[in-house]
Amino acid sequence: MKIMVTGGCGFIGSAVCRHLVRDLGIDVVNIDKLTYAASEGSTAEIAGSPRYSFYKVDICERDAVLKVMQEEGIDAVMHLAAESHVDRSIDGPGEFIQTNIIGTFALLQAARSYHAGLPEPKKSGFRFHHVSTDEVFGDLPLDGGLFIEETPYKPSSPYSASKAASDHLAMAWHHTYGLPVVLSNCSNNYGPYHFPEKLVPLMIINGLEGKSLPVYGTGENVRDWLHVEDHARALALVVTRGRVGQSYNIGGRNERSNLKVVETIADTLDELVPLNTGSRRKLITFVGDRPGHDLRYAIDATKIETELGWRARETFDTGLRKTIDWYMNNGDWWQPLRASRYTGQRLGTAKP
C-alpha cells in the first residue's frame, strides 16, 4: 500500500509519516509546501527509508499534485496540510482561506481525476481521508456535553470556519462525484516535534528558560488533550478500515483547563530541573483573552473505539511527561526553528 500524506513535515503529519513507515511498513509519499511551521527534520528518522519519499509541492497546485499521484501510483490520500493556528487566522485570515479551502478544493479535484482513471480493483480500494478538527463544532459549556459525529457545525474563528468549509467540500465530493472519502475530527494534540509557538511546547521551552508563562484570560478554557502518536495510530485505522462516507471523532478523554496544563508543565519542570528562584508557577501571567475564544471542547470517541478498536494509550500525565522529556533532549530540533522563524508569544493549540 502506498499513501500520500499532505503536510507530512508538519507536527501531526510527520507523526503520521513516521508511524506508517516505521510501525506499519507502509510506503509514504509526503507532499509539503514547507511553510514556517514545517520542518524536514521532523521526518529525519525515516528519510533514508526506501518506503519514504518527499515532494515539495503546494496542494493548491492541482496539476503538480495529480502528477505525483499518477507517477507514484497512490492508493490513498491522507490530507493534513492546513494552516492551523487560531491567532494567525485572526491576524491574517487570507492564508487560511487559500490553503484550507482553495487548497482542499484543488486536492479533491486532483484526487477525483486520479480516481476516475484507476483500474479495478485499485479504484474501489482508493480512499481520500480528510483530517479535521473538533473546533468546527464550536464550543461546549463547562458543565457538560461532548461532541459526537452528528454535532452541528458552529465554527467560531476564521481557522475553524475554513476547516468546516473543507469538511463540507470533502463530503460533497463524495456524495456528488463518488470520491471515496472518510473524515476525522480530532481534539487538541501535543507531543514531540510540535512547533514552538503552540501552547504546550511554548510553556515547556519558556519554563526551561525561566521566562514568563502567558495564559489567555483566566485560563478556564478547557480542551481534550490527545497525544500525537495516539492520533497517528487512529488516523491509520481510519484510512485503512474506516467506512466510506463516515466521519470519526478522535479524542484522548483527557480534559484539562489551559491553566491546569500550564501548572502541570511548571510543576514537572520544577521536579526535573529546579530553578534557583523557586516554583515556576510564579512565572504564570494572565494576558488579554483571544477574540472569540471557545470555552470548552470535548470529544466522544465511542465510535472509533467500538468500530475500529482504537484506544488512546497515553493519559495526559504520561504523555505530557514524555513530551517534556523530548523537548529537554531535542533542543537541536526546536532551537533553530525558534531562532529563525518565530519571535512572538503566541499561545495556540495543535489541530490539522
Burial of residue 217 (number of CB atoms within 10 Å: 0-12, 13-18, 19+): middle
Domains of the chain, start order: 2-194+226-253+297-315 (3.40.50.720)
Strand pairing report for 222-227 and 2-6 = unpaired
How far apart are the C-alpha atoms of 273 and 208, rounded to whole Å?
Answer: 8
Q: What residues are labeled active site?
A: 134-135, 159
On whether the pTM is more than 0.85, the answer is yes
Question: What pLDDT shows up at residue 352?
Answer: 57
Q: Please, where are the H alpha helices in the chain?
A: 11-18, 62-72, 86-91, 94-96, 104-116, 122-125, 158-177, 199-208, 228-241, 258-272, 302-307, 316-329, 331-341
Question: What pLDDT shows up at residue 344?
Answer: 44
C-alpha cell at 318: 504520561
Tens of pLDDT along the chain (352 residues) come to 999 999 999 999 999 999 999 999 999 999 999 998 899 999 999 999 999 999 999 999 999 999 999 999 999 999 999 998 888 899 999 999 999 999 999 999 999 999 999 999 999 999 999 999 999 999 999 999 999 999 999 999 999 999 999 999 999 999 999 999 999 999 999 999 999 989 999 999 999 999 999 999 999 999 999 999 999 999 999 999 999 999 999 999 999 999 999 999 999 999 999 999 999 999 999 999 989 899 999 999 999 999 999 999 999 999 999 999 999 999 999 999 888 755 444 444 445 5
Long-range pairs, 38-42, Cβ under 8 A, ≥24? 38/7, 38/9, 38/10, 39/9, 39/14, 39/193, 39/333, 39/337, 40/9, 41/193, 41/333, 42/9, 42/10, 42/11, 42/14, 42/193, 42/333
